[in-house]
Homo-oligomer: A and B are copies of this chain.
Amino acid sequence: MAKTPVRTRRSGSQLSPEAIIEASLRIAARGSQDAFTVRRLGEELGADPTAIYRHFRDKDELLLSVADRAYGEVLEGIPDGLGWKDRLRALANGSLRVALKYPAVASITASRTTRRINEFRIVELILGAVTEAGLDGADAALYYRAVADALLAYVGQSAAYVLFAPEIRAGDESSWAREYRMVDPGRFPGIARLGTELAQVSAEAVFDVRVEALIAAIEARAASLPEDATRT
């Protein structure tokens, strides 16, 4: 029984890069209950697992293409007409949303460059925001990188976390309520005093603090520049 393929699309077997990317996203959307492997991909496509090597050099090239498709989903969710701060907030929130939708992709992509069209669009969006904030030249480049790398790191971290096996996650989550509540108050006074508050912090609030810290840093840098920085 247990071996019948999910979708039997054999014989014809007309594969294409698009079909493979879409199948990858379907698998990635299943989160921790379905690993994103070449063999699983073959099953999902109703083809031999190695058939994808006819359309992508290796799994890494496929991954970058899939990630760029996910970037496209992020961009679709960002409305027009926002000021630079709200544009960055929309980018951050959208990135987190899409990363949690496809955690297997987001967790691997966190330190990668897709060098594809939607990444270009996101780079342009961030550059536009820091420029609108009043930065230019080396400053704009530096703060662009800080924002881009930080966002990738944040959402990649969140994605990796939801991918952990449930037992591991349960252990990590309960640690504030267990191990951290049993520390010696003499040796760890801060932990003992703030144990309750530490257990109650929400991931959303932490994410907000981190995003707002970046926005404030851009604003502070722009404010520290000489007035004549009103570029043409």
A227 at the interface (CB under 8 A from B): no
Identical copies in the complex:
2
Count residues on chain A whose CB falls below 8 Å from chain B CBs.
Answer: 59
- B110, A160: Cβ atoms closer than 8 Å: yes
- B213, A120: Cβ atoms closer than 8 Å: no
A31 at the interface (CB under 8 A from B): no
Chain B residues within 8 Å of A84, by CB: none
A214 at the interface (CB under 8 A from B): yes
A113 at the interface (CB under 8 A from B): yes
**What separation, in Å, do the CA atoms of A220 and B217 have in the docked complex?**
11
Chain B residues within 8 Å of A150, by CB: 150, 153-154, 210
Cross-interface CB contact of A111 among B60, B161, B205, cutoff 8 Å? B161
**What separation, in Å, do the CA atoms of A121 and B184 have in the docked complex?**
12
A191 at the interface (CB under 8 A from B): yes
**What separation, in Å, do the CA atoms of A172 and B179 have in the docked complex?**
41
- A217, B213: Cβ atoms closer than 8 Å: yes
- A190, B152: Cβ atoms closer than 8 Å: no
Q: How far is the CB of A111 from chain B (nearest CB, A)?
A: 4
* Chain A positions 110 through 129: 1 when the CB is less than 8 Å from some CB of chain B, otherwise 0: 11110100001101100110
- B191, A145: Cβ atoms closer than 8 Å: no
Do A194 and B149 form a contact, CB below 8 Å, given A157-B111, A209-B217, A217-B209?
A: no
Q: How far is the CB of A155 from chain B (nearest CB, A)?
A: 9
Nearest neighbor of A128 in chain B, beta-carbon distance:
B190
Which residues in chain A, 175-212, are within 8 Å of chain B measured between CB atoms? 175, 179-180, 183, 188-191, 194, 197-198, 200-201, 205-206, 209-210, 212
Chain B residues within 8 Å of A206, by CB: 142, 145-146, 149
**What separation, in Å, do the CA atoms of A210 and B147 have in the docked complex?**
8
Q: How far is the CB of A112 from chain B (nearest CB, A)?
A: 6
Chain B residues within 8 Å of A158, by CB: 111
Q: By CB atoms of chain B within 10 A, which of A131, A149, A171, A201 has the most? A: A149
6 A-B contacts, Cβ less than 8 Å apart?
A: A113-B175, A115-B171, A124-B189, A124-B191, A142-B205, A145-B201
